[in-house]
Amino acid sequence: MMKLLISSMIILTIIMMLMIITMMISKKSNMDREKSSPFECGFDPINSPRISFSLHFFLMAVIFLIFDVEIVLILPITIMTKFMITKEWMMSSLFVMTVLILGLMHEWNQGMLQWTN
């Protein structure tokens, strides 16, 4: 037990020393205007680098990704018909589909699927 404690202390000491050394080496100057500005082919930027982003578009993209993952979960259900008892397969398939449909209904009721407000 004592060997484990000593070795963990040595490892933590080495890690802390490496962290301090890397922080000292990687000090960057935030005062340089050229490095902190966006790069546009060597010219000064015309517009602000921060453009407005539609939050609704982002939420639609997230919903799309969620349903993409759900499709990946649904596809193996058809393959499992060979390996499962029919009653168990029907119950698990029904459960998965019910959860997905309830999630879709919830998003619809919240107004997330309407592109324009």
98 domain-assigned: yes
Entry pTM:
0.47
Task: Indicate the angle between helix axes 86-110 and 55-79, nearest 10 degrees.
Answer: 170
11 domain-assigned: no
Domain tally, the chain: 1
101 domain-assigned: yes
116 domain-assigned: no
Q: How far apart are CA 23 and CA 25, in angstroms?
A: 6
Alpha helix positions (H), the chain: 2-25, 33-36, 55-79, 86-110
Q: How far apart are CA 73 and CA 66, in angstroms?
A: 11
31 domain-assigned: no
Region of poorest pLDDT, from 7-11, 20-24, 52-56, 98-102: 52-56
14 domain-assigned: no
46 domain-assigned: no
Range of the domain at 95: 55-110
pLDDT in tens, 25-54: 876 655 666 666 666 666 666 666 666 777
103 domain-assigned: yes
